[in-house]
Structure 1
Amino acid sequence: MTDLERKIYRIIYNMSRFRKNPTMDDLKRKTGKDEASIRKAVRNLVTRNELAWDKEKSEWKF
């Protein structure tokens, strides 16, 4: 897991504990990266099954 992926994972995990899904603006502000880099990192996390989106509950699964 790269540093950016680890950082995004922790941000999503910590924010979702309080029932708030981070927006793209939240992730951009907290990581200092552009949208393309964030999307690529999230896609990598999802393909490695470290993150999954639950469509019914509209929340992340870890």
Structure 2
Amino acid sequence: MNDFERKVYRIIINVTRFGKNPSLDELKRKTGNDERAIREAVKNLMRQRMLKWDTHKKMWNFLEIKKPST
């Protein structure tokens, strides 16, 4: 996981703790990046099995919290 993916992951975790999902506009504002970069980061997190979308609850599930490799 690179630094940008880690930043997106932490934002999603922190926002969902309060029972809501971060919007794309909110992610753009907090990361300072464009939509394409955010979508790619979320796709990579899903490929790495760190995030999963729960269609029933309409919320993110955090499957595994990995420590960054050094």
Q: Which amino acid is 1:26 matched to?
A: E
Please give the alpha-carbon distance, in whole angstroms, between the structure 2 residues aligned to 1:4 and 1:25.
16
**Which of the two has higher C-alpha Rg?**
2
Number of aligned pairs?
A: 62
One-letter amino acid of the counterpart of residue 23, structure 1: S
Q: CA RMSD in A?
A: 0.4
Distance 2:57 2:8 in 1: 21
Secondary structure in 2 aligned to 1:33?
A: coil
Give the alignment's TM-score, normalised by structure 1: 0.98
CA–CA distance in structure 2, aligned partners of residues 4 and 27 of structure 1: 11
- Counterpart Cα distance in 2 of 1:41 and 1:59: 17
Q: Secondary structure of 1:61's partner?
A: strand
Name the structure where helix makes up a greater proportion of residues.
1
Moved over 2 A (4+): none
| Structure 2 residue runs without a partner (length 5+) | 63-70
User: TM-score, normalized by length of structure 2?
Assistant: 0.87
How many percent of aligned residue pairs carry the same amino acid? 58
Q: 2: distance between equivalents of 1:59 and 1:20? A: 8
Higher relative contact order (CA 8 A, sep 6+): 1
State the secondary structure of the residue aligned to 1:22: coil
Point out where structure 1 has 5 or more consecutive residues left out of the alignment: none
